[in-house]
């Protein structure tokens, strides 16, 4: 089938764009040694997992269902190692609280599990210790870096005041609890590189006691700059030495986080357990055109060279950014006392709920802001919800019943969040192959609505 022949409404995954993103992420892995995981909460079209598994180190889950999906479907398409040389995809999981009747299965199918609190860690210890003791499972704790990006939106900011996500520094013990091998943080949403760098430098300073002793103590800066090609103005300058105070950049000084503000005192003892890995979470828009990929590569190289630990990143959006569409058809054109409304066979509320929840105005092909082109319309849906509106858009040509409209960037946080409110049918899931042909991956019907009730 061709793109024009698609039955609407349909989500269409663009294989070429997905691969473009994966190549960028592969380059980050190749040049930095980072391990990048797909955050399935953003994108779980599992029919494309074999393709993604060819490029990435693994997948991460928000709970048992996503963990099972990755366990079953996130596999290389061929034999041996994947394109980045990884021998087997890794399966990671983080959930604010794991249920007692799920934890055994979660531990049995995951390679990493991250707990959100010391309560959760200890509550489930009898289960995870069985898997961790023979090396089948690595256990981490999610920390709260208490650092928000300047433009962080509170609803999507895990470091907002009152957040339940991650353990704050003052609540962390002086030493890593027995069996814990890693730290995880996630505090960004659709961010460039700088907020990640700032977050890491704060984590490195505040949670310094859990990091291994630096592999390179002396003449550290010149070593690292030579190795990674950084410059004297690089912001890692001033992070050398094993004293947390020396990790503070001018920026943090300005921000009031003084060098000796950490209330935790630790003994300088080589025997105490230190982290083997750190997971820098998601929210990194690595595949966006203006992302500072070189900066990210430098940061990961820095962490690995200095501490000798594994570095994980778990972006969701960046994997499938701009790699999907929601194709819809105009079903009616309704004149109102204001601008005319196009009634579409797709719904904001059901098929792209983030439009209403975030909220945001989804990008639409061949359109502009209202009033910029000849014909302005409000785009809405065939549900009865008055506010089921995508936004106001203008077009060069007048729109008619039967015309197609294509919402862009619809692979992420759309399919994973859709619903059948109003008894709305779920859109098909299609894939646009590199040769221009379209294949239907999944078609839904009435039973998908009824079976959930």
With CA atoms as reference, report the closest residue to 187 among 211, 165, 210, 161.
165
DSSP H or E segment with residue 277: strand 277-279
For position 39 contacting ligand PLP by CB under 6 A, the verdict is yes
Interacting residue with ligand PLP among 186, 208, 247, 378 (CB under 6 A):
186
The distance of closest approach from Cβ of residue 159 to ligand PLP in the complex, given in angstroms and rounded to an integer, is: 12
Cβ nearer to ligand PLP, comparing 184 with 306: 184
The distance of closest approach from Cβ of residue 431 to ligand PLP in the complex, given in angstroms and rounded to an integer, is: 21
The distance of closest approach from Cβ of residue 321 to ligand PLP in the complex, given in angstroms and rounded to an integer, is: 9
φ, ψ at 351 (rounded to 5°) = -110, -15
Site for ligand PLP in 276-295 (CB under 6 A): 281-283
Cβ nearer to ligand PLP, comparing 58 with 230: 58
The distance of closest approach from Cβ of residue 279 to ligand PLP in the complex, given in angstroms and rounded to an integer, is: 8
Cβ nearer to ligand PLP, comparing 89 with 282: 282
Question: What single string gives the DSSP state of each residue in 367-404?
Answer: -BSTTSSSEEEEEEESSS-TT-EEEEEEESSPP-TT-E
Question: What single string gives the DSSP state of each residue in 336-374?
Answer: -SSS-EEEESS-HHHH-THHHHTT----BTT-BSTTSSS
Tokens 């000798």 found at: 308
139 with 179: CB under 8 angstroms? yes
The distance of closest approach from Cβ of residue 189 to ligand PLP in the complex, given in angstroms and rounded to an integer, is: 5
Question: How many C-beta neighbours within 10 Å does residue 130 have?
Answer: 14
Cβ nearer to ligand PLP, comparing 124 with 186: 186
Cβ nearer to ligand PLP, comparing 5 with 290: 290
414 with 11: CB under 8 angstroms? yes
- Alpha-helix residue ranges (DSSP H) falling in 229-271: 250-254
Interacting residue with ligand PLP among 94, 210, 236, 252 (CB under 6 A):
94
For position 54 contacting ligand PLP by CB under 6 A, the verdict is no
Cβ nearer to ligand PLP, comparing 52 with 189: 189
The distance of closest approach from Cβ of residue 303 to ligand PLP in the complex, given in angstroms and rounded to an integer, is: 18
**Count of residues in contact with ligand PLP, rule CB under 6 A:** 14
φ, ψ at 8 (rounded to 5°) = -105, 160
Stretch that binds ligand PLP, among 124-132, 309-317, 377-385, 402-410 (CB under 6 A): 309-317
The distance of closest approach from Cβ of residue 343 to ligand PLP in the complex, given in angstroms and rounded to an integer, is: 31
For position 45 contacting ligand PLP by CB under 6 A, the verdict is no
Burial 229-262, CB ≥16 within 10 A → b, else e = ebeeebbbeebbeeebeebbbeebeeeebeeeeb
For position 42 contacting ligand PLP by CB under 6 A, the verdict is yes
With CA atoms as reference, report the closest residue to 280 among 50, 26, 37, 21.
37
For position 149 contacting ligand PLP by CB under 6 A, the verdict is no
Rounded distance between C-alpha atoms, residue 111 and residue 131, angstroms: 9
Residues that bind ligand PLP (CB under 6 A): 39, 41-42, 94, 186, 189, 281-283, 314-318
């Amino acid at each position: 089938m061709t793109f024009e022949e698609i039955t609407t409404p349909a989500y269409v995954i663009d294989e070429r764009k997905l691969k473009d993103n994966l190549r960028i992420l592969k380059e980050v892995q190749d040049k930095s040694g980072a391990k990048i995981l797909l955050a399935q909460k953003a994108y779980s079209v599992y029919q494309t997992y074999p393709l993604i598994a060819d490029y990435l180190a693994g997948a991460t889950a928000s709970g048992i269902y996503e963990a099972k999906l990755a366990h079953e479907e996130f596999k290389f398409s061929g034999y041996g190692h994947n394109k980045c040389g990884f021998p087997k995809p890794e399966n990671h999981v983080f959930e604010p609280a794991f249920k007692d009747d799920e934890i055994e299965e979660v531990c049995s199918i995951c390679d990493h599990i991250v707990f959100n609190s010391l309560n959760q860690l200890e509550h489930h210890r009898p289960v995870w210790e069985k898997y961790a003791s023979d090396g089948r499972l690595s256990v981490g704790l999610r920390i709260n870096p208490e650092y928000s990006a300047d433009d962080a939106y509170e609803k999507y900011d895990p470091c907002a005041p009152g957040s339940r996500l991650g353990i704050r520094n003052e609540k962390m013990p002086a030493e890593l609890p027995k069996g814990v091998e890693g730290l995880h943080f996630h505090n960004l949403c659709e961010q460039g590189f700088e907020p990640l760098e700032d977050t890491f430098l704060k984590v490195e300073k505040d949670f310094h006691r859990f990091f291994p002793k630096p592999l390179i103590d002396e003449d550290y800066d010149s070593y690292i700059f030579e190795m990674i090609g950084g410059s004297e103005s690089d912001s890692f300058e001033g992070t050398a030495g094993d004293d947390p105070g020396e990790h503070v950049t001018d920026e943090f000084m300005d921000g009031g986080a003084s060098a000796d503000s950490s209330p935790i005192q630790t003994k300088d003892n080589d025997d105490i357990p230190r982290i083997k890995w750190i997971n820098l979470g998601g929210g990194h828009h690595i595949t966006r055109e203006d992302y500072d990929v070189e900066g990210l590569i430098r940061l990961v190289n820095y962490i690995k060279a200095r501490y000798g630990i594994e570095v994980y990143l778990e972006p969701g959006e960046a994997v499938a950014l701009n790699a999907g569409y929601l194709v819809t058809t105009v079903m009616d054109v309704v004149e109102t006392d204001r601008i005319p409304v196009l009634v579409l066979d797709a719904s904001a509320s059901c098929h792209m709920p983030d439009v209403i929840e975030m909220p945001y105005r989804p990008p639409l092909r061949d359109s502009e802001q209202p009033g910029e082109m000849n014909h302005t319309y409000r785009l809405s849906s065939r549900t009865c919800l008055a506010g089921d509106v995508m936004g106001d858009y203008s077009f060069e040509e007048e729109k008619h019943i039967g015309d197609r409209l294509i919402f862009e960037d619809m692979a992420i946080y759309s399919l994973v969040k859709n619903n059948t409110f109003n008894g709305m049918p779920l859109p098909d899931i299609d894939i646009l192959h590199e040769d221009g042909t379209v294949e239907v991956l999944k078609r839904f019907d009435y039973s998908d609505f009824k079976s959930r009730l």
